């Protein structure tokens, strides 16, 4: 397998239901205390349909396929080898509590450095409203796998 062989691999799409309790726990974990991230009334007063998911929460949604390790399988790597190199989001509409999010995932680029000792995989995730098909946001993540079997050239 060369890195190019991984490009275009599509992973199984899945849906995820966003719950208030989960957004409240996430807000607590990141020290987010502003009312609109916990209280539906405050969120509505700020113009949201319900409590909004903070900017990086889509990454958490993306980690919930039926098989949580299918991404690793699609890249033929082990969890212990993988580093998160880069993460990017582009936002179109806010994700709010009560939304059902359809997640699509694809390996859009793959390449290697240092004679194959470092493998790079670029995943693109698309998050859309499972009901209306409206796009919420997209994410691009670069995962780096260290291959201990390859001598660092």
Partner 1 sequence: MPGSRMPENAENKAAVLWQPGAALPAHVMPPITRTTLALYAGGSGDHNPLHIDIDYARCAAKMDDVIGHGMLTMALLARYVTGLAPQRALKVYSLRFTGMSRVGDQIECSGSVIKLLERDGQRCAEIEVRAKRQGGDELASGSAVIAIEDL
Q: Of 20, 38, 39, 59, which lies in the binding site for partner 1, with binding defined by CB under 8 A?
A: 59
CA distance 68 to 24: 23
* Residue whose CB is less far from partner 1, 82 or 130: 82
CA distance 16 to 48: 19
Shortest distance, position 105 Cβ to partner 1, whole Å? 16
Q: Could you say which residues in the range 72-91 bind partner 1, by CB under 8 A?
A: 79-80, 83-91
Q: Count of CB atoms within 10 A of residue 5's CB?
A: 11
Phi, psi of 139 (to 5 degrees): -135, 150
If binding is defined by CB under 8 A, does position 148 make contact with partner 1? no
If binding is defined by CB under 8 A, does position 46 make contact with partner 1? yes
CA distance 89 to 116: 28
Footprint on this chain of partner 1 (rule: CB under 8 A) = 22, 25-32, 34-36, 45-48, 52, 54-56, 59-60, 63-64, 79-80, 83-91, 94, 140
């Amino acid at each position: 397998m060369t890195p190019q062989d991984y490009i275009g691999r599509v992973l199984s799409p899945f849906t995820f239901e966003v719950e208030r309790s989960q957004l409240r726990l996430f807000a607590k974990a990141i020290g987010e205390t502003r009312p609109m991230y916990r209280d539906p009334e405050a969120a509505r007063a700020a113009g949201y349909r319900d409590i909004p998911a903070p900017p990086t929460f889509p990454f958490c949604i993306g980690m919930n396929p039926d098989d949580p390790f299918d991404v690793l399988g699609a890249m033929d790597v082990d969890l212990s080898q993988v580093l998160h190199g880069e993460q990017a989001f582009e936002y179109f509409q806010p994700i709010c509590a009560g939304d059902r999010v359809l997640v699509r995932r694809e390996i859009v680029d793959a390449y290697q450095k240092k004679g194959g000792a470092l493998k790079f995989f670029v995943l693109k995730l698309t998050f859309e409203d499972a009901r209306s098909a409206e796009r919420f946001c997209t994410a691009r993540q670069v995962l780096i796998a260290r291959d201990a079997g390859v001598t660092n050239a």
